[in-house]
A = this chain, B = another copy of it.
Amino acid sequence: MRATVIHAPGDIRVENRPEPEITAPTDAVIRTVATCVCGSDLWSYRGVLPVDEPQPIGHEYVGVVEEVGDEVSGVKPGQFVIGSFAASDNTCPVCRAGYHTSCQHVEWVSGCQAEYIRVPLADGTLVAVPGQPAEELIPSLLTLSDVMGTGWYAAKAAGVRPGATAVVVGDGAVGLSAVIAAKELGAERVIAMSRHEPRQKLALEFGATDIVTERGEEGVARVKELTDGTGADSVLECVGTQQSMHQALRSTRPGGNVGFVGMPHGVQIDGQELFFSHVGLRGGPAPVRAYLPDLIERVLSGRINPGRVFDLTLPLDEVAEGYRAMDERRAVKTLLLP
């Protein structure tokens, strides 16, 4: 089969590799219908995370079940399924509490920019869509595998409630999805921090009510201005740098919450500053599995259309161009067709 392998920073290749096989009775093998490139894939592409040896890459997927292990009963060959980037049993106390990405048996799904993938813990990880979805819904369904679910978790972790004022820090695919999530969870005001016009436009279409182009302390001052000097109820941090975390914490009103889903790189939080801010803080890899049934319903009913974050679609063989376009910020997110 054709599969994407990263050999070194900047060196993405499509190669022939053996098709994955069932290795545990709880596995499923899936023929991918669509996959994509994630902002977090760029960490190794840019050399921020080391690449010690060639490795298959990608963790977002929708597809059709090809084969299941003996113990799999929840999904069957021929079904169109979506799953999280984290395989989870969906039965342990942590999953029952809604934190599937900390499942006591978690396994990270990888190598998804490929024609076939193996998904562990298939019963706990995969959710079948009724029938075969219309082609135009596939990009939106694909986002549920990571970015839309991650934006949803950002909004949940930031405690977005009906009537709230929410700020979204970051205008990548996750930030844009977070705008949708804040809106869907009832935020009355959604302030998107963005200085890129096409992304501003999409944020507004997704429900943002205000755009702030300033960053850092100036961005904080602008949010304060827009909130009568008090700060926002909920801030959704979708970047993961020290600057974005500071900006998020300082934009939040006392008693408000920051949900942070940008994987932190070199971020330190000063205990005393957090103390005097009275801000609540929760982050983590999003338990997107928890949200799949609800989000699938919202996509199928046409209520949300997060697939619009894909502004570049390429055949899998051109995946290297997909990475380049995102690295150079020519594309928000690249969809790949195997």
**A residues engaging B (CB < 8 A)?**
93-94, 97-99, 101-102, 104, 157, 228-230, 240, 242, 245, 253-255, 257, 260, 263-272, 274-285
Contact = CB atoms under 8 A, between A and B. Distances in A.
Nearest to A277: B284
A210 to B, nearest CB: 19
Contacts of A254: 94, 97, 99, 102, 284
Contacts of A285: 275-276
Main SS class of interface, A: mixed
A99 B272 contact: no
Given A264-B271, A264-B272, A272-B267, A93 B228 contact: yes
A269 B101 CA distance: 21
A94 to B, nearest CB: 5
A282 B281 contact: yes
A266 B257 CA distance: 23
Given A94-B253, A98-B255, A278 B284 contact: yes
A82 B97 CA distance: 40
A242 to B, nearest CB: 8
Nearest to A93: B230
A283 B228 CA distance: 24
Given A254-B102, A255-B102, A275 B280 contact: no
Contact of A269 (B97, B242, B266, B274): B274
Contacts of A270: 267-269
Nearest to A237: B271
A263 B275 contact: yes
Among A94, A260, A263, A283, the most chain B Cβ lie within 10 Å of the Cβ of A283
Nearest to A278: B284
B99 A278 contact: yes
Nearest to A280: B282
A255 B97 CA distance: 7
A254 B257 CA distance: 17
Among A93, A230, A274, A278, the most chain B Cβ lie within 10 Å of the Cβ of A278
B101 A278 contact: yes
Contacts of A283: 271, 274-275, 278
A310 to B, nearest CB: 26
A267 B101 CA distance: 27
A255 to B, nearest CB: 4
A244 to B, nearest CB: 10
A61 to B, nearest CB: 23
A102 B230 CA distance: 10
A206 B199 CA distance: 55
Given A157-B280, A278-B284, A269 B272 contact: no
B284 A271 contact: no
Contacts of A263: 272, 275
A271 B272 contact: no
* In the complex, the 8 A-B pairs of residues with the closest C-beta atoms, listed nearest first: A267-B271, A264-B271, A102-B254, A280-B282, A99-B255, A278-B284, A269-B269, A99-B254
A117 to B, nearest CB: 24
A100 to B, nearest CB: 10
